[in-house]
Structure formats: C-alpha cells, structure tokens
Chain A
Amino acid sequence: MPTTLSAFNGLDEKELAELDAACGWSLSGLELKEVQRQFRKMGRQPSRGELETIAQTWSEHCKHKTFSGPVSFRDGGKVKKYKNLFKETIVKATKTLNKKWCLSVFTDNAGIVEFGTGGKWGLAFKAETHNHPCAVEPYGGAETGVGGVIRDILGVGLGAKPVLNTDNFCFGRLDTKKKLPRNSHSPERIMRGVVEGVRDYGNRIGIPTASGGIYFDDGYLLNPLVYVGCAGLIPVDKIEKKVLPGDLIVSIGGRTGRDGIHGATFSSANIDEETSASAVQIGHAVNEKKTLDVLMRARDLGLYNAVTDCGAGGFSSAIGELGSDTGARVRLEKAQLKDTRIEPWEIWVSESQERMILSVPEAKLGKLETILNAESCEYCVLGSFPGDGRLLVTHGEEKVVDLPMAFLHGGVPNFEKPAARRKVKISAAPPARPAGLGAVLKDLLAHPNVCSRHSVITQYDHEVQGGTAIKPLQGKYGDGPGDATVICPRAATLDQEDFAGFAVTHGFGPGVGRIDPYQMALHSVDEAVRNLLCVGADVSRTAILDNFCAASPRDPEVMGDLVLAAEGCHDAAMAYGAPFISGKDSFYNQAKDAEGKEYPIPISLLISATAPVRDVRTAITMNFKEAGNPVYLAGVSCRGMGGSVYNDMTYSGNNQVSPLDMEASVKLYAALSKAMKAGCVAAAHDVSQGGLGVTLAEMAFSGGFGAELDLSGAAAEKGLTPLELLFGESPARLVLEVVKEKEAEFLKLVKGRPVAEIGYVSEEPVLEALLGGERFFREDINDLKRCWKKELI
C-alpha cells in the first residue's frame, strides 16, 4: 500500500497525482481535490476502501462524465454550450417523442419496450462495449463482455430472460502493413480470441448469438472495439423494483476473487505497455447459467424486491446503486471467496464475474435458499439495507467504508470540455471511372468489410431456444447474409400459438464519420431502420440504442465529433420517430503506436435497433425466390463516394458524403411496409457496404438465380455517374423482388415514391446489368459467390 495514502488530506497536487497513478484510480486532479475537500470537512482521513469506492463510483465507466457533462462546441465562428450533452440530444429526442410503448428508458440496466399483443410482455434491450479488456486479453475480455451484458438483462427490472445476444466487432485490417508496438496483439490474434470468447460464453449459456457484424479498419489496430448486446423478455408486472428497508443483501452466483480489480477505472485510461491483464476478469458461463435459472424461478415466485448485476466496481457499485436511498450494511467476511489472500477493500471492488445482488425480504430467504440449492447455485447473505442512508462496510472488526450515500452519488464534480469541428477536406469532383466494372464488383465482394462472415457465424449457436425465425445466414444454401435477425421468443413466453416476434439489427459507419460525424449518425439510424424493414418488421415502432466509442475526450476534435454525432442521433430519432431507449459510451480508445505517437480510433457509433414483427412466419429473407419475378430499386441514388468500400479499395477522387433526406425515406419506408404486409414482396435487401452491385449479387447467389437488369429507370440525383450508381453508398435504398402476380398491387401501394423496376429474376445463373445500351457487367453468380465466400477465420 502506498505510504502517502494514510496522509491523504495533506497531500499536494503532485503527491495526489502520484498516489492516483500508484493505485490505478484514473481520477482527475480536480476530482482528487474534491475528495480531499470532503474528507477535510468530515475531519478525518479516508480509508483505502473509501477512496476505492469513490474511484469506482466516479469513474467514466460508471458515471459517463464526458457525455453527461457540460461541453462548449466551437463550430467556425459559432459556439454552442451544453450543460449535459447526452440529455440535450439523445434523451431529449426520447422525451419529445414520448412513445407510450416505451416502458422503461435510460433508468435501468436496459431499455424496455412493449412486446407482442396483450400487454403482457416487455422486451429489454441493451448493448455495451468491452474494448479495453479485449485489447489486452481478447478471449477473456470478450467472454466477460458477453457475460456482463447478459447480467444487465438479468438485472433489469426484476429480471428478464435473455433470448438473443448480439456482437459487433471492429478490428485492424488482417493484412495490415503497420508496425505494431511491443505488447500489442496482431488483429488476427485479437479477432480469434474475441470470436472464441463470444462463442464459448454465448454457446455455453444457451442464448443464441445471432446478430452482429465485423468491421475492419486500421483505425482499430491498437484499440479493437467489441460491442456486445443482449435482448430479453420480461413480464410487464416485473419491471418495477424497489429495495425496502430491512431487506437482506444476497449475492448469488460466482465467488469473489482478485481478478478484475480496477476494471472500471482501467477503462478510463489509455492502454499502454504497462497495462496489466489482471484488470481483466475471468469468465465462467456455467455459473451465470445457474444464476439465470435461479433468477427466473425466484422472480416468478416473487422472492425478492430488487436485483442488479455486479459489473464495473463489483459489490461497491451494485450495492451502492441498490442502496442509494436506503443505505447499506455490508459484512465482507460473509462473501464467498475464490482467493483467500484478498484484502477487504479488494472484495468490495473486485469485478469477479457471474454475481448478482438481490434485495430479499427476510421472510422469503428460506424459499430462495431452496431454489438456490436445487440449482447448485452458491450464494451468501452479505448484510442488509437499513434505511438510514449510510453506507457502512466492515470486515470483521475493520471498518472499510463509512460514508453517506449522498456523497458518493451526488458528489462528483464535472467540468466543461472544449469541443471543435474537425477540419476535413471534401472533394466533390466526379469520381474516376475504372475499366471493367465486373472486376470491381468481384473485388468489392472479396473486400474484408463485404465478404461472407459464415466462418464466424457458424461458430455461434445462433438457433438455441428454437426461436430464431430469420437467421443471420439464410436462403437456398443457408449462407445468404441477412439484414436483420427475427426472434420468436417462445422459450420465454412458452406460447406455441403466438407468432409474435421482434427483429434486431445494427447500423454502423465510421467511414462516413471520418468525413461527417453528423451524417454518420443519420446514415447509421437509417441503415438500421432499413434493415428492419427488409425483414418485414413494423418500423413505425423502432426503438434504438446508441453506443459511442471515441478516443480521448481531452482532444477538442474528438469532442467535436461526439457533439455532431449526438446531434445527428437526436435529429434522426425525431425524423424516424424512433426513440433511444438505452445507450453507452466508451472513451480513451487510443494508444501509442510503434513510434510512440498517439493512435486514436475514428469516432464510432453503433446504432442497434429493434422493431416488432407481427407474425414471424411472414418475415422476409433477402435471397431471390423465383425466376420471372420483377426486381425493383427503392430510393434515390445520390452523388458521392465518401465513406464507401470502393474508396477504401481505390480512391475515386470523390469523398463527398451523400446527405440523407430523412423525410423522403420515412415516407418511402411507410409505403414499402404496406406493400410487404400485403404480401407483395418476395425478397428485400438493403444497399449498404459495397453499394447496389453488391446487394444485387448477394440476392442472386443466395437464391441460386441470376437477374437481367437495366438500371436506366432507377431514381437518381442529377449528374450521377455509373460508379456512384453501382458502388456508391448513398443511404435510404433497398432492392426488392416483387411477387409477379402482385406487381400491380405493389405499384399502387408505392405510388408517388421513388421505386423503379430495374429488371427481373432469371433462371440462368448470370447477373447482368445494363444502362440502356451499355453493359456494366455480366457475371456468373457462382464466380461472384466464390469471390465473396472467404474464410475469415
């Protein structure tokens, strides 16, 4: 233990900073000063346990100080001030929209929306990141990331039953030429570790991992991003939780050990050569499964009043959160340990996995114990919630923490951060046209951000629970890339006559974000909504999650990116009528490269979205179904190659981002939604990475059909070049295969919208695209598929 700790109140600025570094708290100088001031006021020195508790509770990870703090944004000559950036953008949209089908937003471990008909069920949805642990120890980091977000779902309300896991990864390019610093892992090693971690945890716990994506970019070389998400079903009468004074504090599931000390504070630091893997926890999926099984039974019997998970900060955060009104008495000697050398304060902040905290009325403890024993699930009674607002943590005779709860949860000081718009050079010149568009199409299909993910997806059990109606791989050969996953959660409802389901998907576009963070947010929300539409979900009921990842918030341009993206989130949510229901953010995703230079990630926003599917039997897949059916392109193709896969491959000389016309796309999607409900659409697929050419190729080879196409009728912005039409990634477009017999009805339903016939599905396995008299390409679909179907892992 650092010797200066016992004289905390008398330390000067430099000594405080040294102590902070030695203890790994990641508190700022101003925060340390504030702690000092408070303890001087109390007239005593803080204990190690108290300082640890404060460091955990005030960490970026737990308090989201940056996003929820004041920001001053300089945009050219104008300055805009925010008191609380998050509340004034994302939360504001949700509040203004005020949808009555939102049952719980931003307050609990996950957002909850109505599910199905009859008002019986809610759908809880949450996604978060586990970036820093995965950079240091990819396998363990990914495992515990999955375990953590599942516990968020178990700990929302009185507990939801998880029915779907999602995962989105960003890695450096596998073929990177950049030199890596000592002590960092190659992208391939990180990818393997992360995929295996998600696989081994998700499969073992019996939740389908069925939705996600992988994005390769050298911006993530030293800081991979690992977004993990989980959705679960909860009875609507189990959403409210309240700790009652006198309740016992019961910890169930895993034991407490020295793994994962300082996970919360470590995630607020840049990763460097000294970063220790001991900050990463060790996962044990089967323990979490026991916890899940116990919770679901105990919940339905009403054996506890509140529950939350032990995540960042361990007991200190979980008990601190549950007891924020009542206070808590905790006797750490009661904890079940996996390591007896552990210090009392370490028990208090350890982030050992698979632990949930329940608030249990004394009279119900016996019944709970019966269930715990029946499921072979370990537990301990740690203390009680007394109702006096005081947090008193002891270990035998030793006092570890003795603080008023109000200090912990109210005391955190916050300081204004400067933000500025990043300067980006935009070239609007017409893109250079390459020779051989067929060859370009093949190269695009083989690009790491386009090619097949089957070698990863097939390592996940994406169908456990038997409810995965629309799978990540689909079509005639079971390998077509789906737009969204549809789940019929019968393993939760047990209702075999109910065909209600929900769709889940994501939107992500850091390529656009590098050029225009505001448009990135718009495009990402649009992509997510469009993906939901493709499977036939009711997009008027879309709910979304935001997950921001950024570099150091001390850089005003990073903060500028964040402000613009947050404003984009607000505007898109309003335009699409899609409220945010939960969100997370992760900062300090930057590291020093081999030359010792700072290496930040690009601003990264994952939009995860869900919408109801009335009847999963009618949900739509993306592959062509029948020769002779007409093919339509919906949406206007716009100018600009900015952020495209094509530009990543060969810079076209144009990096303009096509602005999204949200009003037009909302109208378009409403019309298409009607056409889908009427059964007019046989297949739908969004135009995204790689552009229209890739979309058409995927629909063709996934169905085993060709297509004869003439794109001259497509709705297009004036001056659009063939390259932009085929491989540009302007938003709000999708390709539809229309049922031939219902074409007239389809046209009636989409009248007045930019929807144009571009050809028909053909028996001959050849994809041909013309523009009037000119042939763009004519390719065998099996050749195209061979280019696309690469083994990533």
Chain B
Amino acid sequence: MKKPKAIILRGTGTNCDIETLNSFRYVGAEPELVHINQLLAGERRVLDYALMAFPGGFSYGDDISAGKIYAVKMAALAADFEAFVRDQRPVIGICNGFQILVKTGLLPENKANAQVSTLYTNDCGHFLAKWVKVKINKKSPCLFTKGLPDEIELPIAHGEGKFIVEDGKVLDSIIARNLHAMTYSENPNGSMLDIAGITNTAGTCFGLMPHPERNFFAWQHPDRPAAARETTAAGYQFFKNAVDYVS
C-alpha cells in the first residue's frame, strides 16, 4: 500500500519538526519537512499532501505573540489551507502549531484570517514545562483522540497556552459541538473550561498544547515501571489515527 504523504510545516524557529517527522514515519506515513518559504515560492503545494502537521517551537521567536507571524505568512496561501481543511484531510497543530492554527482562524471554524480565539500567556506568567493529566472528551468528533482512554498523561512546554475566546457565543458553540476534544485534569495555565485541545466540527483539524510526540514511547515517561519500557504510549495513537483515517 502506498504511504500517505504528510507535510510537516517549518519556518524560522520551528523546533519540534524532527520528532514530529519521526512520529509520522513510525506510524507509516511518508513525511516531508517543508519550509513556509518553499510554499510561498511555489516550490511545494499543500494540496499535494494527504496529511498536515504544524510542529511545536517558537516560530519567528514568538515575536508579537506566539504563532502570529507564521499565521500572517500563511495568509497569502489561505485558499490552499482552507481547501485542505474543507477536504477533511487531517491537520494537527502541536503547541506552537496549535497557536498558529488558532491565530489563522483555521481552528475552530475552518477559516483562514478569521480568528475567534487565542492562546494567551499562562496565568503563572512564564514558560512552564511539566507532565499533566488530560481528559479525552469521548463525545468529540476529533479523529486524533479516537480510541484513547478517558485520561492520559502528556507533557506541556509553553509560555502562551491559556485558551480564551472572543465571546460567550464562541464558547457555547464549542461546547455544543464538543470541539473541546481534550481538557486538563488540573489546569496548568488558566485555559477556559480547562481546554487543552480543540478540533473543528469535522474532527479532522486538531490543535493541542501538550506534546503527544513526547509520550510516543513508554520510555519517554518520567515514571518508569519496568514493565512498560518496551511499548508505545498514549501519544502514538494521535499519529496512528491520522494515518489510519487516510489509508
């Protein structure tokens, strides 16, 4: 069977591109690192790929606000990105990738250049890297979280992870459609409704602050019971689900 092509989008200051690439390759995709400059120059086209990922990092130094400059650079290609999401091809944004998706407006409403929510500075006021427990919303249409247990552990590593929305209507509509695919068991950053991850209505575009690629194998967990050392961990499922969906 032909391996589905995954575009791993980079830019200046993208840091988690390699481990995201490794994760997609492990679950059977054919990932390629593509710099936003290559898209803007017309060397690559997003619609040539089956899967898309926005990895973590500090794109353009988090200047102005996290993910903002990358989102602005994407504006020139808004039609392609919208078409990709409308086609219901899977898109995952992790950490800085989530920040980018929210700042374009692709999350939660599939619209490039129509931002209705943001990820703001953590309540603690600084970058925070720690392991957290997150609850999986079983009623959510999100394809990435299918088959996961009710609660899993993942590490967070961000300074701007507090999810907030424009007004009450946005929040109501998120709740009504179960777009909050993932919530913190103990809120580390002040996010509304403890939100850790958001999907679009189709469940194909998903952004989350925690890093599934950092709990992909059991050996990445800080508590190492001998029995679990050989196996994959919760994060594996996110990537596997995406590849299964397009295969």
Contacts and interface: CB of A to CB of B under 8 A. Distances in A.
Asked if A pairs with B, the answer is yes
Interface of A: 196, 199-200, 203-206, 284-286, 289-290, 374-376, 457-469, 471, 473-476, 478, 488, 490-491, 494, 496, 499, 616-619, 621, 623, 625, 679, 682
Given A458-B130, A466-B16, A286 B60 contact: yes
A301 to B, nearest CB: 15
Interface on chain B toward A: helix, strand, loop, or mixed SS? Answer: mixed
Contacts of B216: 466
A376 B14 CA distance: 13
A152 B207 CA distance: 36
Interface in B2-52: 12-16, 18-19, 21-23, 25-26, 35, 37-38
Interface string B114-126: 0000000000001
B220 interface: yes
A617 B25 contact: no
Nearest to A207: B15
A459 B155 CA distance: 13
Contact of A286 (B13, B16, B130): B13
Interface string B61-78: 110000000000000000
B223 A463 contact: no
A469 B16 contact: no
Contacts of B18: 465, 490-491, 494
Contacts of A205: 15
Contacts of B103: none
A376 B12 contact: yes
A488 B13 CA distance: 22
Contact of A206 (B57, B131, B219, B230): B57
Contacts of A618: 229
B129 A459 contact: yes
Contact of A469 (B25, B56, B219): B219
- Looking at A461, A467, A490, the one whose CB has the most chain B CB atoms below 10 A away is A461
B214 interface: yes
B169 interface: no
A375 B19 contact: no
B129 A462 contact: yes
B222 A286 contact: no
13 contacts: A206-B58, A376-B12, A376-B37, A459-B126, A459-B127, A465-B15, A465-B16, A466-B220, A474-B223, A494-B21, A496-B25, A619-B219, A619-B224
Contacts of A682: 226
Q: List 5 tightest A-B contacts by C-beta distance, closest first.
A: A206-B15, A466-B19, A286-B61, A617-B229, A491-B18
Interface in B125-165: 126-131, 155, 157, 159
Given A461-B129, A496-B25, A616-B219, A374 B13 contact: no
Contacts of B180: none
- Looking at B60, B155, B222, the one whose CB has the most chain A CB atoms below 10 A away is B222
Contacts of B16: 206, 464-466
- Looking at B26, B128, B224, the one whose CB has the most chain A CB atoms below 10 A away is B224
Interface residues of B, number: 44
A625 B155 CA distance: 22
A617 B219 contact: yes
A739 to B, nearest CB: 8
B57 to A, nearest CB: 6
B199 to A, nearest CB: 23
A286 B12 contact: yes
B128 A458 contact: yes
Nearest to A470: B224
B211 interface: yes
B57 A463 contact: no
Nearest to B16: A464
Contacts of A623: 223
B213 interface: yes
B225 interface: yes
B26 to A, nearest CB: 5
Contacts of A289: 12-13, 15
Contact of B128 (A374, A459, A473): A459
A461 B229 contact: no
A375 B12 CA distance: 7
A376 B223 CA distance: 41
Nearest to A679: B226
A682 B229 CA distance: 13
B157 A471 contact: no
B38 A374 contact: yes
Contacts of B223: 474-476, 478, 621, 623
Contacts of A471: 222
A275 B233 CA distance: 53
Nearest to B188: A458
B13 A461 contact: no
Given A374-B35, A375-B35, A469 B126 contact: no
Contacts of A204: 13, 58, 61-62
A494 B26 CA distance: 11
B19 A490 contact: yes
Given A200-B127, A458-B128, A464-B56, 15 more contacts: A203-B127, A286-B12, A374-B37, A458-B129, A463-B155, A463-B220, A465-B16, A466-B19, A466-B22, A466-B213, A475-B222, A475-B223, A617-B218, A617-B229, A621-B223
Contacts of B26: 496
A463 B12 contact: no
